[in-house]
């Protein structure tokens, strides 16, 4: 995504719905979409849009409900160094699939 798009705001902008659906169908059919196809290179936002949709639709978020308060406390830490230490500590508590 970052190689083929304008990085500034690339994850905030949405792709074209029809391209997102086409890409989703390719994944759901069990294939590995060829992301170097012109249709995806011209609308690189459809790739990031699908990745965001996937994360939104997970039954348990990547940063799990159980650890939400710990993540919130960690990011509220005043100094950047201490904040990073606390975030790393909470990340280590994630279930293995979420951590990967």
Q: What pTM was computed for the model?
A: 0.65
Name 71's Cβ contacts closer than 8 Å, sequence gap at least 6: 63, 87, 90
Per-residue pLDDT, averaged over 9-20, amounts to 84
What is each CA distance from 42 to 3, 93, 94, in whole angstroms?
12, 39, 36
Q: How far is CA 87 from the centre of its chain?
A: 18
Q: How confident is the model at residue 2 (pLDDT cuts 50, 70, 90)?
A: low
Percent of the chain with pLDDT over 90: 52
- Say if residue 41's pLDDT is above 90: no
Does residue 8 have a pLDDT over 70? no
């Amino acid at each position: 995504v970052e190689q083929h798009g304008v990085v500034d705001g690339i994850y905030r902008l949405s792709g074209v719905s029809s391209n997102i659906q086409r890409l989703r169908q390719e994944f759901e059919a069990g294939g590995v979409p060829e992301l170097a196809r012109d249709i995806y290179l011209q609308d690189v936002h459809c790739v990031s849009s699908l990745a965001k949709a996937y994360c939104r639709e997970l039954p348990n978020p990547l940063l799990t409900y159980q650890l939400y308060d710990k993540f919130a406390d960690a990011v509220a830490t005043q100094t950047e160094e201490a904040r990073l230490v606390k975030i790393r500590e909470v990340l280590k508590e994630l279930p293995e699939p979420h951590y990967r």
